[in-house]
């Protein structure tokens, strides 16, 4: 929340005003402390006439929308007038005015608790300081954030908070990024009057991810509100009262949520910290790299914190359109998988069945030789779940040059066609789901397939009581839903109109249908898609000029880009007749049909499933070590940024393929990543528009009517184990612990 910088700013401003108070320019630099000079009208006009001085910018990008021009009210924060919509709190008004109010319990995305009292400000005509987070701003209110009363109130609250807070900052993992530390520096006193003994609280066991040191808790209840409001697990509570108050579950219970790691971020003190990260590093030793996550198709925005060559932790980054400020536990804790079971050298399987490390030159030569011996139609290429667009482009180009067009991406199935982007994207967009008032989930379990999408749906359901219908095997939901059926036939019944949910769908203003990518593996994919097509023809509200409610929820990071690039198998019988298989990080491809004498090249970063059948291994890099383009399920293109150096002799995927193409004598025409990107520009120009969501041009799935009948086979569970879905997470010890707990349940 930037309170660290807040503290330093406060310190800086106080020292600068002391030292430089003779210089009027410095007095005009506005930080959270408003100098008395600024209250004078002359000072204000002077500020206005000097445009090069920093403008008062809203804190943390606070935005104001005026839904209704009549609802605008004006309040004064330290004498500055600000216009805000009705219903904002005093604290929000202050942040729009550029004044950051210290806080512990208030959090933008949680309900207001008002129990820490750190946000006290003075309001003219109010006899006592008011808790700004819980006080609605009223027209004409004169808010004062920097008066002696406000300062004294904060100091007093701080003294109370520190009363029972242990002095264990040197052994606390939150040290350096602790709101309490920062704010006590900025607003606290240099001594306390408490001479009694401090209380101690028993630590709770919240599972393998969250470490608790409950004595440090300041009872802000953010974690309790997060668990019940965002994560939807009613496990945590505030027990006891007065000085005996504790956070806990009362009965022995683990917090079983796929979002539980976020309590680490929202806990303002070191009461809830990351267990795997405990005592590993100090936050100021870490280098932050802003990148994206690839463990699912959502592309959550993350920051990889690394020290030297090692990834130390992963934390979320704010992106209102995708993950808000949360990430799933898989995203956050898979990082130890980046270091384990890595392939670091090119290897060739010898006659004895063992792998022998060889040089790149030898490995490439062997593969090139084999490639020249097979017929072009016997060559198959499979891109893995985690592949970036650049490597998929080069794989396709390379195999095309070798005469084969049998290249696909894991998870996209045989029956999908990629002609229309709207047929495989989340057309409503993730943030757009918030406008939906009726959901129909078909063959998808968003809670494990795309946690952040599920969090959006839950948010919507909580806010608007939107109806949720679900067709698929029984599964866990953390919001109210109707389980309508398990087979595609239910969908047909809804289309016929003799299902109770048809009425809900037709009366909804913005209905959203979400189809899981799991259906791509079914025989009747085309029939289901055409059913949905007729559904959108019948329910006119599904697709209107403003609203597109037909969505496909993809499973893997590579899927959308692969379809954009046209990685579609040419023939149905790819594997049975293959003599040469190029697995680019593909670990979940079924190789049972593969003839015994086929030659398999595995290019990947982990010694995972794909390695078992491989004849040659090319080591490549993981997402934290390379620059790569990914497109998420809603069609938003984002890039990863290398955070740490790669291990051993591993190389980036596209470079390996480029090198191989040269050895094979079909040199690919690009030598740099920008070269690959200009090639991508010809195929899928949208993949170059980074951080933009490119909506599909045509809406609807536009499938020919009557492409077969849907079968009565029930929809399957696509993600069996949320914690282990790809090579990285399968290599992770932390994820293994979580899966063990999952299995125990």
Partner 1 sequence: MLARLASKRLLEIRQAFRQSPQTIRSLSTALNYVSSNLCFLASKSFDLDSTGGTCAFSDFIDLVCLFGVCVQHIDTPENNPNVPWEFNEANKPKVNEILSHYPSNYKQSAVIPLLDLAQQQHGGWLPVSAMDAVAKVVEVAPIRVYEVATFYSMFNRAKVGKYHLLVCGTTPCMIRGSREIEDALLKHLGVKRNEVTKDGLFSVGEMECMGCCVNAPMITVADYSNGSEGYTYNYYVREHHKLHYYPFSHFNEDITPKRVVEIVEALKRGEKPPHGTQNPERINCGPAGGNTTLLGEPKPPPCRDLDAC
Helix (H) or strand (E) holding 389: helix 389-401
Q: Is 9 helix (H, G, I), strand (E, B) or coil?
A: helix
Question: Which does residue 106 touch among ligand SF4, partner 1, ligand FES, none (CB within 5 to 8 A, set by kind)?
Answer: ligand FES
* Residue 185 binds partner 1 (CB under 8 A): no
Question: Which does residue 608 touch among partner 1, ligand FES, ligand SF4, none (CB within 5 to 8 A, set by kind)?
Answer: none
Question: Quick one: angle between helices 179-187 and 148-163, nearest 10?
Answer: 140
Question: Which does residue 396 touch among ligand SF4, partner 1, ligand FES, none (CB within 5 to 8 A, set by kind)?
Answer: none
Kindly identify the residues of this chain, within the stretch 222-241, that bind partner 1 according to CB under 8 A: 228, 234-241
Which residues, in sequence order, are CB contacts of 607 under 8 Å at separation 6+? Answer: 341, 342, 343
Residue placing its CB nearer to ligand FES in the complex, 7 or 562:
7
Please, are residues 430 and 322 in contact by the beta-carbon 8 Å criterion?
yes
Kindly identify the residues of this chain, within the stretch 196-225, that bind partner 1 according to CB under 8 A: 197-204, 213, 215
Instruction: Kindly state the smallest distance separating residue 68's Cβ from partner 1, in Å.
Output: 29
Residue placing its CB nearer to ligand SF4 in the complex, 269 or 575:
269
Nearest residue to 94 via CA among 126, 135, 42: 135
* DSSP string for residues in 307-368: ETTEEEEEEE--BTTTTBT---HHHHHGGGGGTSSB--S-EEE-TTS-EEE--HHHHHHHHH
Instruction: Kindly state the smallest distance separating residue 382's Cβ from ligand FES, in Å.
Output: 52
Q: Is 200 helix (H, G, I), strand (E, B) or coil?
A: coil
Per DSSP bridges, beta strands 550-553 and 511-516 are parallel
Instruction: Kindly state the smallest distance separating residue 312's Cβ from ligand FES, in Å.
Output: 30
Map 551-588 to HEC letters. EEECCCCCHHHHHHCCCCCCCCCCCCCCCEEEEECCCC
Residue with tokens 């290398």: 642
Radius of gyration of the chain (CA): 29
Torsion of CA 331, 336, 339, 342, to 10 degrees: -70
Q: Which residue in the set 80, 104, 408, 723 belongs to the binding site for ligand FES (CB under 6 A)?
A: 104
Nearest residue to 585 via CA among 492, 654, 643: 654
- Write the binding mask 431 to 470 for ligand FES: x where contact by CB under 6 A, - elsewhere: ----------------------------------------
Residue placing its CB nearer to ligand SF4 in the complex, 64 or 214:
214
Written as six digits, the tokens of 398 are 């390379």
Query: Segment near ligand FES (CB under 6 A), from 39-47, 97-105, 176-184, 547-555?
Result: 97-105
Residue placing its CB nearer to partner 1 in the complex, 200 or 678:
200
Contacts with ligand SF4, residue ranges (CB under 6 A): 217-223, 247, 266-269, 271-272
Question: Which does residue 602 touch among ligand FES, partner 1, ligand SF4, none (CB within 5 to 8 A, set by kind)?
Answer: none
Written as six digits, the tokens of 482 are 């109707």
Instruction: Kindly state the smallest distance separating residue 120's Cβ from ligand FES, in Å.
Output: 8
Kindly identify the residues of this chain, within the stretch 106-165, that bind ligand FES according to CB under 6 A: 106, 114-119, 131, 133-134
Site size for ligand FES (CB under 6 A): 13
Instruction: Kindly state the smallest distance separating residue 315's Cβ from ligand SF4, in Å.
Output: 16
Residue placing its CB nearer to ligand FES in the complex, 218 or 562:
218
β-pair partners for 246:
239
Q: Is 380 helix (H, G, I), strand (E, B) or coil?
A: strand
Sheet order of strands, 301-307 included: 287-292, 301-307, 310-316
Q: Is 381 helix (H, G, I), strand (E, B) or coil?
A: strand
Instruction: Kindly state the smallest distance separating residue 559's Cβ from partner 1, in Å.
Output: 37
Kindly identify the residues of this chain, within the stretch 262-301, that bind partner 1 according to CB under 8 A: 279
Residue placing its CB nearer to partner 1 in the complex, 20 or 239:
239
Instruction: Kindly state the smallest distance separating residue 480's Cβ from partner 1, in Å.
Output: 12
Please, are residues 135 and 143 in contact by the beta-carbon 8 Å criterion?
no
For residue 553, give Cα distances in angstroms to 125, 442, 451, 519: 54, 10, 11, 10
Residue placing its CB nearer to partner 1 in the complex, 220 or 660:
220
Residue placing its CB nearer to ligand SF4 in the complex, 179 or 694:
179
Residue placing its CB nearer to ligand SF4 in the complex, 218 or 553:
218
CA angle (278 as vertex; 274, 282 as ends), nearest 5: 100
Instruction: Kindly state the smallest distance separating residue 210's Cβ from ligand SF4, in Å.
Output: 10
Nearest residue to 100 via CA among 29, 221, 174, 3: 3
Written as six digits, the tokens of 692 are 């933009």
Written as six digits, the tokens of 458 are 């839950």
Residue with tokens 């350096």: 176
Nearest residue to 60 via CA among 107, 26, 11: 107
Question: Which does residue 271 touch among ligand SF4, ligand FES, partner 1, none (CB within 5 to 8 A, set by kind)?
Answer: ligand SF4
Instruction: Kindly state the smallest distance separating residue 590's Cβ from partner 1, in Å.
Output: 42
**Cα gap 558→536, rounded to integer Å:** 28
Question: Which does residue 285 touch among partner 1, ligand SF4, ligand FES, none (CB within 5 to 8 A, set by kind)?
Answer: none
Query: Segment near partner 1 (CB under 8 A), from 113-121, 163-171, 439-447, 570-578?
Result: 163-171
Instruction: Kindly state the smallest distance separating residue 247's Cβ from ligand SF4, in Å.
Output: 5
Residue placing its CB nearer to ligand FES in the complex, 75 or 338:
75
Instruction: Kindly state the smallest distance separating residue 243's Cβ from partner 1, in Å.
Output: 11
Residue placing its CB nearer to ligand SF4 in the complex, 165 or 605:
165
Q: Which residue in the set 244, 353, 545, 704 belongs to the binding site for partner 1 (CB under 8 A)?
A: 244
Residue with tokens 């949910």: 501
Q: What does the binding site for partner 1 look like in residue numbers (CB under 8 A)?
A: 166-171, 197-204, 213, 215, 228, 234-241, 244, 246, 248-252, 279
Q: What does the binding site for ligand FES look like in residue numbers (CB under 6 A)?
A: 103-106, 114-119, 131, 133-134
């Amino acid at each position: 929340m930037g309170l660290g910088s807040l503290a330093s700013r406060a310190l800086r401003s106080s020292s600068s005003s002391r030292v430089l108070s003779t210089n009027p320019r410095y007095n005009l630099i506005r930080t959270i402390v408003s100098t008395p000079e600024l209250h004078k009208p002359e000072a204000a006009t002077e500020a206005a006439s000097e445009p090069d001085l920093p403008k008062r910018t809203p804190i943390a990008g606070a935005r104001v929308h005026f839904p209704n021009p009549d609802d605008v009210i004006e309040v004064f924060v330290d004498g500055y007038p600000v216009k805000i919509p009705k219903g904002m709190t005093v604290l929000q008004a202050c942040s729009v005015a550029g004044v950051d109010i210290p806080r512990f319990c208030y959090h933008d995305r949680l309900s207001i608790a008002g129990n820490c009292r750190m946000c006290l400000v003075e309001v003219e005509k109010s006899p006592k300081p008011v808790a700004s987070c819980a006080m609605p701003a009223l027209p004409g209110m004169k808010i004062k954030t920097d008066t002696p009363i406000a300062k004294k109130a904060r100091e007093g609250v701080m003294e109370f908070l520190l009363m029972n807070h242990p002095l264990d900052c040197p052994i606390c993992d939150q040290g350096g990024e602790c709101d309490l530390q920062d704010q006590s520096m900025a607003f606290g006193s240099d001594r306390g009057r408490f001479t009694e003994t401090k209380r101690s609280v028993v630590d709770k066991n919240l599972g393998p991810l969250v470490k608790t040191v409950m004595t440090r808790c300041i009872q802000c209840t953010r974690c309790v509100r997060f668990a019940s409001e965002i994560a939807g697990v009613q496990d945590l509570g505030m027990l006891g009262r007065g000085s005996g108050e504790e956070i806990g579950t009362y009965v022995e219970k683990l917090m079983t949520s796929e979002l539980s790691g976020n309590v680490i971020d929202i806990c303002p003190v070191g009461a809830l910290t990351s267990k795997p990260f405990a005592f590993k590093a100090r936050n100021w030793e870490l280098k932050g790299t802003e990148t994206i996550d690839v463990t699912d198709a959502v592309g959550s925005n993350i920051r990889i914190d690394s020290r030297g060559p090692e990834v130390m932790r992963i934390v979320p980054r704010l992106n209102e359109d995708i993950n808000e400020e949360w990430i799933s536990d898989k995203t956050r804790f898979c990082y130890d998988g980046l270091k384990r079971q890595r392939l670091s050298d090119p290897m060739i399987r010898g006659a004895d069945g063992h792998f022998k490390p060889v040089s790149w030159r030898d490995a490439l030569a062997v593969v090139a030789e084999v490639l020249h011996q097979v017929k072009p139609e016997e060559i198959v290429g499979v891109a893995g779940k985690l592949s970036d667009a650049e490597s998929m482009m080069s794989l396709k180009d390379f195999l095309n040059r070798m005469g084969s067009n049998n290249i696909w991406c894991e998870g996209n199935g045989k029956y999908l066609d990629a002609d229309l982007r709207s047929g495989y994207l989340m057309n409503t967009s993730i943030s757009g789901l918030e406008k939906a008032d009726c959901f129909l989930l078909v063959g998808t379990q968003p809670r494990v397939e795309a946690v952040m999408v599920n969090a959006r749906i839950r948010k919507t359901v909580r806010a608007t009581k939107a109806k949720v219908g679900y067709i698929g095997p029984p599964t866990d939901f953390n919001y109210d839903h109707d389980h309508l059926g398990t087979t595609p036939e239910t969908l047909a019944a809804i289309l016929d109109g003799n299902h109770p949910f048809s009425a809900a769908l037709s009366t909804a203003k913005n209905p959203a249908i979400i189809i899981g990518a799991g259906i791509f593996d079914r025989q009747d994919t085309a029939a289901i898609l055409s059913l949905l097509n007729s559904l959108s023809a019948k329910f006119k509200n599904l697709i209107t000029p403003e609203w597109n409610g037909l969505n496909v929820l993809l499973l893997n990071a590579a899927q959308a880009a692969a379809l954009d690039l046209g990685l579609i198998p040419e023939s149905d019988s790819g594997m049975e007749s293959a003599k040469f298989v190029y697995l680019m990080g593909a670990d979940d491809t079924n190789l049972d049909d593969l003839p015994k004498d086929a030659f398999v090249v595995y290019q990947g970063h982990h010694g995972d499933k794909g390695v078992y059948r491989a004849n040659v291994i090319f080591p490549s890099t993981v997402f934290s070590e390379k620059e790569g383009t990914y497109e998420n399920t809603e069609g938003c293109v984002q890039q990863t940024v290398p955070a740490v150096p790669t291990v051993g002799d591993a190389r980036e995927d596209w470079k390996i393929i480029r090198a191989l193409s040269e050895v094979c004598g079909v040199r690919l025409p690009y030598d740099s990543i920008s070269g690959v990107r200009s090639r991508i520009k010809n195929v899928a120009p949208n993949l170059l528009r980074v951080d933009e969501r490119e909506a599909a041009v045509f809406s609807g799935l536009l499938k020919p009517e009557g492409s077969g009948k849907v079968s009565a086979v029930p929809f399957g569970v696509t993600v069996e184990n949320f914690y282990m879905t790809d090579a990285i997470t399968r290599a992770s010890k932390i994820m293994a612990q979580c899966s063990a707990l999952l299995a125990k349940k």
